[in-house]
Amino acid sequence: MRITFTVVSTALVLVSSIVSKAQQQQAPVDNSTSEKKSLVYPDEKHFKNMRQLTTGGDNAEAYFGFDNEHITFQRRNPAEGIMCDQIFYGSLPKTENEKFNYTRVSTGKGRTTCAYLMPDHKHFLYASTHLGGDACPVEPDRKVIKKYVWPVYDSYDIFEADFKGNITRKLTNTPGYDAEATISPDGKKIIFTSMRNGDIDIYTMDIDGKNVKQITNTLGYDGGACFSPDSKKIVWRASRPTTAEDVKEYKDLLAQGLVMPTHMELFVANADGSDAHQVTKLGKANWAPAFTPNGKQLVFASDYEYERGFPFNLYLINLDGTGLERISHDGSFDAFPMFSPDGKKFIFSSNRNNGGGHDTNVFVCDWVE
């Protein structure tokens, strides 16, 4: 959900997901002394019993299913010969010594992103470019553009599939980018990002793809939305170009299928888009938001404390913009936070414990209020 174009960069690390070499594989990690290995830093008072689920490559956008026991996530690993993000599915280990086993459930074609488990426990939805071709879509040459940009591939559509990789339904059918989908906790609605009106806006639809409704209509990128635990509110990240120069830059990049994500703030609204208001006013990139289990706060990733736009850490904030609290302390990258539906578990992606390399892995822990 929350981020569609996942890319790892030393300038702005918005992580991609990683594809595995085989249709099935295990990722053994020795977790017997996890906290002794400093998976939890001293100031991370909300995290307990942390476990590293993946190892190697870039793993991101891990989201819990409705049963609190299964997750989907994106995985990419060029070292294994797989160059495009693909979607994986697995059951969370129930004991300390149990390995985290996961299976690729996307087609292996094109690039995929933003998977979310359906309430029927038999299907999941995700965005994929495979109808535009089996190969990885070409990434922008940032050295030529001389800006940090995300590609907004017009070949992305949102699909429903089963856990054998069979696509059972195409949920979007309009030209242009459709991705970043998540499902309301009551199982009735899907919220997603689309360029069908020429700008990047947020839409909702019924769980079967019907009754599409546009939620945002202000110039700028709107995306990465998700619902509150009671399904009555939504949160998302947005850029809001205001000066003539910023507006021109935004439109020029969008015409090339690109957006620049270095300045984004968080917004909250009712689920129908009414009463929209800005929550953060921090500057820099504030993104990957999710509601806390009580629905009264947001958790999100930000680089606002750092002049160079890096590292990223996780923060809590009240819905009225007060009570900002930093909750993660890795010196590189913490992002893509999400709570389990029962509020007991917390999952996120991080560069911690990667031996000083660039790997981004998925971590899960108990949440402590």
DSSP lists the bridge partners of residue 170 as: 159
* 225: helix, strand or coil: strand
- Both tokens of 273, joined, read 């888009």
Domain membership of residue 134 (yes or no) is: yes
Query: Per the domain annotation, does 1 fall within a domain?
Result: no
Q: Which residue has 């995700």 as its token pair?
A: 126
Within a domain: 46: yes
CATH code of the domain covering residue 87? 2.120.10.30
Q: Is residue 19 part of a domain?
A: no
Q: Compute the distance between CA of residue 171 and CA of residue 164 in angstroms, rounded to an integer.
A: 18
Can you tell me the distance from the alpha carbon of 219 to that of 201, in angstroms, rounded to the nearest whole number? 9
The answer to whether residue 14 sits within a structural domain is: no
Domain hosting 32: range is 24-367
Contact present, 348 and 334 (Cβ < 8 Å): yes
As a whole number of angstroms, the distance between CA 59 and CA 128 comes to 17
Is 4 part of any domain? Answer: no
Residue 7 within any structural domain of the chain:
no
Residues 102, 69 contacting (CB under 8 angstroms): no
What total number of domains does the chain contain? 1
* 116: in domain: yes
Tens of each residue's pLDDT in the chain, 369 residues: 444 434 433 333 333 332 233 333 333 343 434 444 669 999 999 999 999 999 999 999 999 999 999 999 999 998 887 789 999 999 999 998 899 999 999 999 999 999 999 999 999 999 999 999 999 999 888 888 888 898 999 999 999 999 999 999 999 999 999 999 999 999 999 999 999 999 999 999 999 999 999 999 999 999 999 999 999 999 999 999 999 999 999 999 999 999 998 899 999 999 999 999 999 999 999 999 999 999 999 999 999 999 887 899 999 999 999 999 999 999 899 999 999 999 999 999 999 998 888 899 999 999 999
